[in-house]
């Protein structure tokens, strides 16, 4: 891969940032930011060496323009990751910000599909591991047994003290009627939470499936950013924690929005 394909254009610093709603504390719940340019280059080049990735110059160009992988990383991360971009159909917007507009600020469908394929081919697995590392670091730094702040009174106690696996089960039951939830042993406060947020929880379930579909073909060798060979577990932890953070966002919005 040539260094020019990693160089950020001036738009990298000026690319629009996603509006992710109210500020949430502690920092565990903040959106994962993109890597800075120097760390991206170092980590990504090591990742490519580890996976023996050979970049196809034809794939990294469209309409005689180079696709800047660093800028693509920044744009997707600022929108919340590949699952959010796919669910919200933001690939034309992402491609437009990469200077492929046909109906500014959006690109045409062919450019959008090409950019999506480039991201899946070269960045999806790398970004997933980066996000997993950040989330795991935040959890370790928080020094709290529960993942929900106790100050959020609208959250059922069972939910505020949930593990990622329990939160995943809450999302998985989002399509079940109240009677079935009760039969499965779910508490009344939890049933009420599911009922009040059913549509959003179903969207989260779809996001989880989309994320798994987008990255299921990727192989995960040694993680170049942490040296951790147990990448499969890290990737699974990221999926579970991301679901929990999405549920947290629902709760905070119900209080402050």
Place of tokens 């779809």: 206
Determine, yes or no, domain membership for 147: no
Determine, yes or no, domain membership for 233: yes
Rounded CA-CA distance 186/208 in Å is 22
Which CATH number do you get for residue 31? Answer: 1.10.150.60
Provide the domain limits for residue 40.
3-9+20-126
Do 89 and 160 fall into the same domain? no
Phi, psi at residue 107, to the nearest 5°? -95, 175
Determine, yes or no, domain membership for 140: no
| Pick from 96, 106, 46, 107: nearest CA to 71 | 96
Determine, yes or no, domain membership for 144: no
Determine, yes or no, domain membership for 209: yes
Rounded CA-CA distance 214/225 in Å is 21
One digit per residue, pLDDT tens: the chain, 257 residues?
A: 543 344 443 334 443 333 333 333 334 445 789 999 999 999 999 999 988 999 999 999 998 899 999 999 999 999 988 888 888 899 999 999 998 877 778 888 999 999 999 999 999 888 888 887 887 777 777 665 444 444 444 445 555 555 555 666 777 777 888 898 888 887 787 788 778 777 767 766 676 666 556 555 444 444 445 444 444 444 555 555 555 555 554 554 444 33
User: Prior bond to 105 cis, omega within 30?
Assistant: yes
pLDDT at 9: 39
Do 47 and 115 fall into the same domain? yes
Rounded CA-CA distance 167/128 in Å is 20
Number of domains the chain is built from: 2
Do 161 and 251 fall into the same domain? yes
pLDDT at 222: 46
Do 160 and 122 fall into the same domain? no
pLDDT at 246: 54
- Give me the count of residues in the chain: 257
Determine, yes or no, domain membership for 164: yes
Do 29 and 84 fall into the same domain? yes
Do 122 and 180 fall into the same domain? no
Read off the DSSP letter of residue 3. G
Count of CB atoms within 10 A of residue 243's CB? Answer: 24
pLDDT at 134: 81
Do 40 and 95 fall into the same domain? yes
Rounded CA-CA distance 248/256 in Å is 12
CA distances from 228 to 136, 231, 232 (A): 12, 6, 10
- Given 79, 104, 126, the domain boundary residue is 126
Q: Is the pTM for the entire model greater than 0.85?
A: no
How would DSSP label each residue in 33-50? PPPPHHHHHHHHHHHHHH
189: tokens are 């406060």
193: tokens are 């939470």
Q: How many DSSP H helices and E strands does the chain contain?
A: 13, 4
41: tokens are 């280059």
Do 164 and 115 fall into the same domain? no
Residues 14/6, Cβ–Cβ less than 8 Å: no
Alpha carbon distance, N-terminus to C-terminus of the chain: 45
Do 95 and 166 fall into the same domain? no
Determine, yes or no, domain membership for 98: yes
Do 85 and 165 fall into the same domain? no
Determine, yes or no, domain membership for 185: yes
- Given 78, 110, 126, the domain boundary residue is 126
Rounded CA-CA distance 231/218 in Å is 12
Residues 66/7, Cβ–Cβ less than 8 Å: no
């Amino acid at each position: 891969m040539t260094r020019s394909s990693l160089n950020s254009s001036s738009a990298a610093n000026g690319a629009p940032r996603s509006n992710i709603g109210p500020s949430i504390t502690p920092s565990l719940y903040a959106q994962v930011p993109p890597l800075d340019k120097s760390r991206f280059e170092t980590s990504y080049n090591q990742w490519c060496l580890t996976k023996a990735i050979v970049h196809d110059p034809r794939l990294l160009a469209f309409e005689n323009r180079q696709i800047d992988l660093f800028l693509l990383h920044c744009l997707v991360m600022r929108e919340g990751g590949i699952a959010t971009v796919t669910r919200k159909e933001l690939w034309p917007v992402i491609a437009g910000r990469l200077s492929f507009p046909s109906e500014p600020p959006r690109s045409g469908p062919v450019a959008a599909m090409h950019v999506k394929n480039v991201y899946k081919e070269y960045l999806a697995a790398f970004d997933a591991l980066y996000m997993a590392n950040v989330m795991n670091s935040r959890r370790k730094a928080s020094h709290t047994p529960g993942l929900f702040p106790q100050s959020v009174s609208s959250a059922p106690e069972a939910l505020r003290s949930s593990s990622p696996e329990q939160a995943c089960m809450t999302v998985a039951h989002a399509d079940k009627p109240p009677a079935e939830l009760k039969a499965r042993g779910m508490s009344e406060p939890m049933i009420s939470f599911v009922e009040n947020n059913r549509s959003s929880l179903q969207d989260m379930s779809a996001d989880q499936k989309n994320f798994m579909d987008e990255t299921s073909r990727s192989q995960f060798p040694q993680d170049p950013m942490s040296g951790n060979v147990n990448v499969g577990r890290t990737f699974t932890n990221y999926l579970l924690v991301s679901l929990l953070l999405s549920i947290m966002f629902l709760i905070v919005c119900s209080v402050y929005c």
